[in-house]
Amino acid sequence: MIRTQRLAAGVCALLAALAAGLAFPAAASAGEPTGDATPKVDLVLDVSGSMRTRDIDGGTRMAAAKQAFNEVLDATPEEVQLGIRTLGADYAGDDQKTGCKDTAQLYPVSTLDRTEAKTAVATLSPTGWTPIGPALLKAADDLGSGEGSKRIVLITDGEDTCAPLDPCEVAREIAAKGIGTTIDTLGLVPSTKLSKQLSCIAEATGGTYTSVEHTDELTDKVNQLVDRAADPVVTPVATEGAAQCTDAPVLKSGLYTDREEFGQERWYRVEVQAGQELRASVSVSADRAVGPDYGTLLRAVTLHGREIVRGEAAGNGRTDVISTGLRYPKPERDDDDSDKPAAETVCLQVTNSFSPAAGVKTTPGLPLELTVDVVDGPSHSADVASFGLGRGWWLLGLLVLVGFLAGLLWGWVSRWRVAVWRTN
């Protein structure tokens, strides 16, 4: 009986190992960054007196920012050099000239010492003015030179208080230097005036503006922006979609930018060979005030107007960018298809349902970013037939089968043991 138990245990262990090996194949080695370019991020935090306000998850805005920063510091990728700059942290007086100089580097842009950075953040206390413009100028200097991506992430709960220095003009000045710095802005108060100013700052450098009202939203967004800095720098190619597919530009694999009017549709064309797979995604940014409910739709259509596949997404005003994507695998040709064209023209249609807020200009159109990737596709018709579920689902089916067989075997062994025990 002991020998049978060991045999059963061994078979079950073998089946479990087989299932684990199929479900979790050995991970590939992490890719090494190319060249000497190092991504850099400077977090610019508003520490003005208004950050004492208690309106974020029952606590102060400052407490929410500190909690978010601690979680972001824990999650920052090793390859990213990160720094922290404050504005309004030291001067509590009434002199505007002095208050508008109140910006300091709390932690230098460098390889991150998480403990040291957290200790520095813990010392902050809401104090003074809101010199956004001067802080942005200094933050651009903090990042220095280099070919890696450079991002400034501004977190504030109020407008700049250092007029006539307009922070939007400062952002345009930074963009005009051609140093490749992107400014992303996060507003902690749902204010129309603040939204307008922060949107203008972000738009000037190709960044994003987001309004956040909860600590977890702040943490998630800052983490996303820091992670984005670690992504390889890809320069998008400007293109111009057409009003119909027959006039649309033909795109190859790459990253493209365009502008799309409110409620407009844009068309692009992609050539897909037999045995290849088209993967496409689109992001449409609300770079100005829009209605709270909106969506975007990406369709793959044949030249004859038949829809192949679609991707769609909806938003409710809590994010400034909405994205969706699709995949279309074109089957390999059989011998009977030798008289048919090897390539297929796929029409990509992008539409949006954004609506402008009252008094908002509708031109230029909303920023649109389109990614096109044509890769070697599935080689078997069964893979194509299962498209929509994902081509990794066969592994799940195999796991279910292995689990079922293991359960049968274990049940049979258990019943045999009981029968032997009763016999004895």
Apex 222 CA angle, 218 and 224, nearest 5: 120
Pairs from 301-307 (Cβ < 8 Å, separation ≥ 24): 301/245, 301/346, 301/347, 301/348, 301/349, 302/344, 302/345, 302/346, 302/347, 303/245, 303/246, 303/345, 303/347
Burial tier of 371 (Cβ tally within 10 Å: 0-12, 13-18, 19+): middle
Contact 152, 120 (CB under 8 A): no
Nearest CA to 103 out of 74, 140, 59 is that of 140
Tell me what pLDDT residue 377 has: 64
**R_g of the chain computed on alpha carbons:** 28
What's residue 379's pLDDT?
47
Structure tokens at 1: 């009986």
- CATH number (3.40.50.410, 3.40.50.10490, 1.10.3720.10, 3.10.20.440) of 40-230 reads 3.40.50.410
pLDDT at position 322 is 79
pLDDT score at 337: 57
In whole angstroms, give the CA distance from residue 292 to residue 353: 11
Strand order in the sheet with 294-301: 265-273, 343-352, 294-301, 307-315
Strands 81-87 and 54-56: unpaired
Question: Per-residue pLDDT for the chain (424 aa), expressed as one digit of tens each?
Answer: 444 444 344 444 434 433 333 333 333 333 333 334 789 999 999 999 999 999 999 999 999 999 999 999 999 999 999 999 999 999 999 999 999 999 999 999 999 999 999 999 999 999 999 999 999 999 999 998 887 889 999 999 999 999 888 998 899 888 877 677 899 999 998 888 999 999 889 888 878 888 998 999 999 999 989 988 887 666 788 999 999 999 999 999 988 999 999 989 999 999 999 888 999 999 888 878 888 888 899 999 999 999 999 998 887 765 567 788 898 998 876 655 566 667 899 999 999 998 888 888 888 888 898 999 898 865 443 333 333 334 444 555 666 677 777 777 777 766 676 666 666 6
- Helix or strand or coil: residue 227? helix
Beta-bridge partners for 111? 81
- The 3-state DSSP composition of the chain as helix, strand, coil percent (nearest 5) reads 35, 30, 35
Q: Is 224 left (phi over 0), alpha (psi -120 to 50) or beta?
A: alpha
| Cα–Cα distance list, 369 to 116, 240, 250, 280, 324 (Å) | 38, 11, 16, 11, 11
Comparing CA positions, the residue from 412, 303, 324 lying closest to residue 370 is: 324
User: Where in the chain is CATH 3.40.50.410?
Assistant: 40-230
Spatial separation of the C-alpha atoms in residues 222 and 214, rounded to whole Å = 13
Strands 276-285 and 366-376: antiparallel
Task: Name the fold adopted by 237-385.
Answer: Jelly Rolls (2.60.120)
pLDDT value for 388: 38
List the one residue out of 344, 347, 375, 346 whose CA is nearest residue 276. 375
Would you say 64 and 141 are in contact if contact means Cβ atoms under 8 Å apart? no
The terminus-to-terminus CA distance of the chain in angstroms comes to: 11
Question: Are 64 and 24 within 8 A, CB to CB?
Answer: no
Residues of the chain with CATH 2.60.120.380: 237-385
**213: alpha, beta or left? (left if phi > 0; alpha if psi -120 to 50):** alpha
How far is it, in rounded angstroms, from Cα 203 to Cα 195?
12
Pairing label, strands 254-260, 237-238: parallel
Q: How far apart are alpha carbons 175 and 170 in whole angstroms?
A: 9
pLDDT number for residue 391: 42
- Tell me which residue has tokens 């498209």: 387
Residue whose C-alpha is closest to residue 350's, from 264, 256, 276, 262: 264
Q: Which residue has the tokens 């938003």?
A: 315
